[in-house]
Structures are given as structure tokens and as C-alpha cells.
Amino acid sequence: MVKINDNYLKLPGSYLFSTIGKKVREFSAQHPDKKIISLGIGDVTLPLVPEVIKALHGAVDEMAVKETFKGYSPDLGYEFLRSTIAEKEYRTRGVNIEIDEIFISDGAKSDSGNIQEIFDTDNKVAVCDPVYPVYVDSNAMAGRAGDYDPGTGRWSKLIYMPCTSENDFAPDLPKEDPDIIYLCFPNNPTGSAITKARLQEWVDYSNRIGAVIIYDAAYEAYISEDDIPHTIYECEGAKTCAIEIRSFSKSAGFTGTRLAFTVVPKELERGGVKLNSLWARRHGTKFNGTPYIIQAGGAAVYSEAGRAQTKEQIAYYMNNAGVIREGLTAAGYSVYGGVNAPYIWMRTPKNMTSWEFFDYLLNNANVVGTPGSGFGPNGEGYFRLTAFGTYENTLEAMERIRKL
Ligand code: MLT
């Protein structure tokens, strides 16, 4: 008889945002008169910018004509998009990334969940704590995380790197050497950033011990301070130890349209094998490409007008971040993040657990956030709000929280 992958049975409950969605739906069904404001999942609220819409329409029209119709897209993505990314995301920052080091995909969530497939299941994985749950769950599904202990909220085989106010939410080098290291900066969930000097320490460390860093830079567009690196490849030696994952979701509002890319440098080798070849093989076998229409929309983000329009959106969300930071601070909360990232990380009041505060906020202010403990044991006692709501809802949410 068939045997299932019983690593799935070790996973606790459902995916964090599914649990939150369920709780909110239940509350809503019981209180149909209440207007709920969601600052929970980091989903954008502004429409795609005009320049992207124009490109999408143009691409749809091309699909209607025999001469310009497109079937399967190339394995790694269309060259027009990859060469634009190489130029606009990297060369302008003094980093040389070849176009065959860039893999277009349908999202940073898929890439960050799938990338572990090219590594042996015996590898030791290090994650920040708190952490975006996809890195942990995808390794657990592959059998690399060991067993889950509901008491401690930890997996037996993972190395946890605490990110707390004591270390400015940037992890210290672990005591035990890992093989795979997940870093996400600007960070989800804490909204913190890492300086170039500190990231360089991670690159040097990984090169020294032969580890690979999976660097999730999905929130790069939100960086506002000068000494924060926009790509890990700004650090010397990163091409021999780091894979970088980027996204159009938060930088250009593609959460519903799905577009991202991953960079696997050809210089990155382990055991005499280029990881670029492995990821290319995996991509070619399991992925049939992001639709042409979406890639055409993505390329429009890099036009002069597209850049200006998406910059305005980011400024809008960061203005919300400021409203949240100021609102919570004025209401007496300890607040972090929200300067180089669209997430605000706050301490829960009166020793409430993260989930107690979730229920309290939902019941009394009808505002939805994300419990910090959902991101790992060191997230307990914290709570995350996103800046991706509308300005009006963000103001109203702060007003309701102030009145509590
Ligand atoms: C979040 O709220 O953490 C993000 O929206 C999740 C994601 O990007 O998948």
C-alpha cells in the first residue's frame, strides 16, 4: 500500500495565515455589523500602476494575434525581463549578475519553499526566530527539520537564531555551524534591516564554513536608510555563498499577479557542482514559466514612468507605516520596524500572549494583526501590523487602538 510523506503529519495545525483567516471569518459571521480592518497578512491594497496595466493590456492583445502569440515561456524566463533585471536591479548598484543567473518565477513564496529541494535532506538548517514560516515548513515537509515539540514551539533539527530587541532583530552567528542559512532582510516579520557590515559578517562566515545563504530580499524596495544593502551581492564574496530571492509582490503590487525572480550565481558551487545548474534543472522540470503577459507587466515596472509610479505606491505604504509607528508609540506601546520595511513589530501589552492580544484586538477594536508567536518561539509577546492597508483604514485602526 502507498505510504504518505508523514513529515506532513508533524506540521503543527494549519499555515499561520490560514488560521488567522479562519478566526476572522468566524468573528465576522458572529458579528456581521462590525467593520473589520485587516492589517494582518501582508497583502497590498493599491491597484497595479497605470504603466503596468498598459503593458498587460498590450501583452493581452499580442496573445490575440497569430504573429505575436506566445506559448510556453522560456525555462528561465523571457530575456527581455531578465536583462532588464540584471541592468536595473544589479548593474546600477555596481553588481554584475549575468542573465543566466536570473530565474523568473511565480513568486518568492514558491521559490523560498522550493529552493531546499536542491540540497540533501541531511543538511543542517538555520533560521531566524521569529521567521517567515515558509522556510521552516518547507524544510519540515522535506524531513530536514526533525520533530516538532509543541511545548517549546521548536523543531528538533533546526538551528534557531534569536532575533530580539537585544540584537536589533539581526541574528548573531550561531554556535553550531549550519549548512543552509535563511536570512530575510528587510525582515518579515520584525520589519528590521541589516547593515552592510553585519551582512558581510554572514557572507564571510558562510564562505568560511561552506554554508549557503538563502537571502530573501522581497522587501528591498522599502529600504530608506543609506547603510542598508539592497542586495546581498553588494557584500564581497556573496556570489560564492548566496542565493537571492526577490519579488514583485510588495515592490509593485503583484501579490495577485505573481512574479518574482531568484538569482543563483554560477560561481556558487558545493561538492564541485554548480547550484545554478541544479536550480535550472529543477526549474526546467517542474515549472513551465510565468505567463508572458505577467512578465511583460513586470518589465514595465522598470520603465521611467513605471519606476516613478511604483515609487509613489511604496511611499504611500511607508506613510502608513509612519502612521502606525506614531499611533502605537503615542498609545504607549514599544514599537520596532516600519522604517526600512512595511511591517511594524510591537510588544503586546500587560504580558498578554501574542494570540491573547490577537483576540483582544479583534474583539475590542475589530482590527486584525498577526501574532508574533506564529513566526516562532521568540515572537511570543510580540505582534505584527502591516502598512499595506489603505491610508483611511490605517488611520481608523490607530484611532480604535488609541481608544482601547
Ligand atoms: C506575510 O504577511 O507575511 C506575507 O504576505 C506572506 C507572503 O508574502 O507570502
Give the atom of ligand 1 at the shortest distance from the alpha carbon of 188: 3
**Given this model, what pLDDT does residue 119 score?**
98
Read off the pLDDT band of 128 (50, 70, 90). very high
Q: How many CA atoms lie within 13 A of 249 on its CB side?
A: 24
Report, as an integer, the average pLDDT of 259-278.
98
Ligand 1 center to 340 CA (angstroms) = 16
**Given this model, what pLDDT does residue 254 score?**
98
Residue in 186, 179, 348 with CA at minimum distance from that of residue 270: 179
**Is the pLDDT confidence value at 68 over 80?**
yes
Sign of the alpha-carbon dihedral angle for 390, 396, 399, 404? negative
Alpha-carbon gap, residue 81 to 291, rounded angstroms: 12
pTM: 0.97
Pocket test for ligand 1, best of 17, 105, 136, 317 (most atoms within 8 A of CB): 17
- Alpha carbon 264 to its chain's center: 17
Domains of the chain by residue range: 12-47+305-403, 53-303
CB 192 within 8 A of CB 128: no
Give the atom of ligand 1 at the shortest distance from the alpha carbon of 109: 9
Give the atom of ligand 1 at the shortest distance from the alpha carbon of 189: 3
Domain 12-47+305-403 top-level CATH class? alpha beta
**Given this model, what pLDDT does residue 134 score?**
96
Answer whether 42 contacts ligand 1 (Cβ < 6 A).
Answer: yes
Residue of minimum CA distance from atom 5 in ligand 1: 42
Report, as an integer, the average pLDDT of 317-344.
98
Burial class (CB in 10 A: 0-12, 13-18, 19+), 147: exposed
Give CA separation, 264 vs 91, 97, 232, 238, 389, in Å.
16, 9, 12, 11, 33
pLDDT digits (tens, 9 = 90+) for 82-102: 999 999 999 999 999 999 999
Strands 212-216, 343-347: parallel, antiparallel or unpaired by DSSP? unpaired
Read off the pLDDT band of 296 (50, 70, 90). very high
CB 191 within 8 A of CB 338: yes
Backbone φ and ψ for 214, nearest 5 degrees, come out as -95, 110
Answer whether 371 contacts ligand 1 (Cβ < 6 A).
Answer: no
CB 262 within 8 A of CB 275: no
**Given this model, what pLDDT does residue 18 score?**
87
**Is the pLDDT confidence value at 104 over 80?**
yes
> Mean pLDDT score of the chain, rounded to an integer?
97
Answer whether 255 contacts ligand 1 (Cβ < 6 A).
Answer: no
pLDDT digits (tens, 9 = 90+) for 190-213: 999 999 999 999 999 999 999 999
Residues 396, 399, 401: CA angle, nearest 5 degrees: 110
**Given this model, what pLDDT does residue 46 score?**
98
169: Cβ–Cβ under 8 A, 6 or more apart, which residues? Answer: 163, 187, 190, 192, 336, 337, 345
pLDDT digits (tens, 9 = 90+) for 143-195: 999 999 999 999 999 999 999 999 999 999 999 999 999 999 999 999 999 99
pLDDT digits (tens, 9 = 90+) for 367-383: 999 999 999 999 999 99
pLDDT digits (tens, 9 = 90+) for 213-248: 999 999 999 999 999 999 999 999 999 999 999 999
**Given this model, what pLDDT does residue 85 score?**
98
Answer whether 188 contacts ligand 1 (Cβ < 6 A).
Answer: yes
Percent with pLDDT over 70 in the chain: 100
Q: Which CATH number fits domain 53-303: 2.60.40.1930, 1.20.120.340, 3.40.640.10, 3.30.465.10?
A: 3.40.640.10
**Is the pLDDT confidence value at 14 over 80?**
no
Percent of the chain that is helix, strand, coil (3-state, to 5):
45, 15, 40
**Is the pLDDT confidence value at 118 over 90?**
yes
Amino acid at 108: A
Residue of minimum CA distance from atom 3 in ligand 1: 42
**Given this model, what pLDDT does residue 75 score?**
85
